[in-house]
Amino acid sequence: MSTSVRERRATRGWALALIAAAQFVVIMDTSIIGVALPRMQAELGFTQQNLSWVFNAYVVAFGGLLLLGGRLSDLFGARRLFGTGWVVLLVGSLVAGLAGNVGVELAGRAVQGIGAALIAPSALTLLMMIFGSDPRELTRALALYGAAAPAGGTAGVFLGGVITQYLSWPWVFYLNIPIAVIALVGTRILMPASASGNRGSVDLPGALTVTLGLGAAVYGIVRAPEAGWGSAETLIALGAAAVLLTAFVISQAVRRQPLIRLSIFRTPRLGAANLAQVMLGGAWIPMWFFLNLYLQQVLNYTAFPSGAALLPMTLVIMIGMIALAPRVIAKFGTKTPIVAGMIMLAAGMGWLSLAPADGVYWTDVLPATLVAALGMSLAFIPSLGTAISSARPEEGGLASGIVNTSYQVGSALGLAAMTAVAAAFGADRLGDTAALTRGFSAAFLGAGGIALAGAVLVLITLRSPRGVDGS
């Protein structure tokens, strides 16, 4: 093998490592705050109900602006947007770490979400640019990229525990600053320059409308248990969400250069694969959120043990996605592992819902989380790959924006809904372990229901390619 070939492969390997690290970080930032939540609640004045906004402020901005990020990536070049996203994430992390009250903290988290919305779709576009010409290399690259997402989510809980226990909660945000600096240097060295596409218009009103609509929906769902489902506050929030999201769909249908070309959903299998991502996000994120609260508020784990308790999930996910999922896909296609994975995820959630107030980690928590993690690893990769590969090559940024949006929207709405369910069953009664356990168990069971519903929907909607059984 010539030196130039080895150098080219090494460069591609480092580029893939940076792309996977980007996905790891933007998803880690959804979860690294998990263990720190009780400390943040005490120091900044969050209530048990609005505590979920530390997560949702990030995810609403992330999910709502991902389509804009994908469009900007197609228009102005993936490498440029990738670097810009790291700068924005750095600024948001600094603000969130320095925050002294609820408002500043949520503002910093929203800025972080904006940065993530620029990083995620451009990272996936860069992956397709580098590896898209070789199907075998693309499968391996997508496996590593896909493993980085849930692994980042679970590892974030562990890192958050270490940082919160031995430093302080602001460092869960400061951690991003050196990472962003390294990523900016790596971007200039490793990432290919892409010729910008047609300099079309950017649909900023559409991006604002969908983000506000998503935020209003999350707010209405989260506030409903306290304010009442029939209260004016809840009805106004949910009504505003319906109006804004409807207006967004209509605007995309009539604009000459929309944020999202609605006809892309006529692409075979794309809509069903994105639906699977919505349901996966809606099931997985509530699980780790309430599992972390269960460990700390019911079993009285401190920050570090709470994070360490979820480390086995990370290992199962990474092994499952990198070593198992590609082999299962090669043998059974994509549909079978998505459905089977969602059923396993639902089973893990159901098992976890049985954990009692005096539960034991080794018997009541660990086995259930490993089953759920294995299910997630089986379902995530084939649904992600199907959603990306279904689009035309020139719409890679849009397709990556859509699939990332699907997962984040599912995460935000799933957590909002399960927060409401948990509160209705007693999870707002701090100090009452029996009530907290009932609330958390209800949330686990509800999240399992989302995963099971996802399995049924995929079974019905995901069509198999001609000549391929089970895919």
| pTM as predicted | 0.77
- Those residues whose C-beta lies under 8 Å from the C-beta of residue 336, and which sit 6 or more positions away, are 328, 470, 471
52's tokens: 């979920």
Residue 439's nearest CA partner among 48, 47, 32, 39 is 48
Other C-beta atoms within 10 Å of 39: how many?
A: 17
15 token code pair: 């580029």
**Distance between CA 11 and CA 55 in Å, rounded?**
35
Q: Report how far residue 384's alpha carbon sits from residue 387's, in angstroms, rounded to the nearest whole number.
A: 5
Cα(34)–Cα(291) distance, integer angstroms: 10
Residue 396's CB is within 10 A of a number of other CB atoms, namely 24
Count Cα atoms within 13 angstroms, Cβ side, for 161: 20
Environment class of 440 (CB within 10 Å of its CB; exposed 0-12, middle 13-18, buried 19+): buried
With beta carbons less than 8 A apart as the criterion, state whether 329 and 465 touch: no
**What pLDDT tens digit does each residue of the chain (471 aa) get?**
555 666 677 788 888 899 999 988 988 887 788 778 888 888 887 876 677 778 878 887 887 787 788 778 877 888 889 999 999 999 999 999 998 888 899 999 999 999 998 998 888 888 888 886 777 777 778 778 877 876 677 678 778 888 888 888 899 999 999 999 999 999 988 888 765 555 566 777 887 888 788 778 877 877 777 777 788 888 998 899 899 989 988 988 888 777 777 777 777 777 888 899 999 999 998 888 888 889 988 998 887 787 788 888 878 887 888 788 888 888 888 889 999 999 999 999 999 999 999 999 999 999 999 999 999 989 988 888 788 777 666 566 667 768 877 887 888 788 888 988 988 898 777 778 899 999 999 999 999 999 999 999 999 988 765 544 444
Backbone CA torsion sign across 273, 30, 154, 354: negative
Which class is domain 3-191+199-203+257-461? mainly alpha
Q: Which two tokens stand for residue 240?
A: 């505003």
Q: CA triplet 120, 14, 187: central angle to 5 degrees? A: 50
CA distance 51 to 296: 15
Q: Looking up tokens 């620029």, which residue turns up?
A: 118
CB 336, CB 463: distance < 8 Å: no
Closest CA to 396 of 132, 150, 64: 132
Structure tokens at 187: 């971007």
Where are the chain's structural domains?
3-191+199-203+257-461, 204-256
Amino acid occupying residue 239:
G
Q: Is the dihedral of CA 181, 184, 189, 191 positive or negative?
A: positive
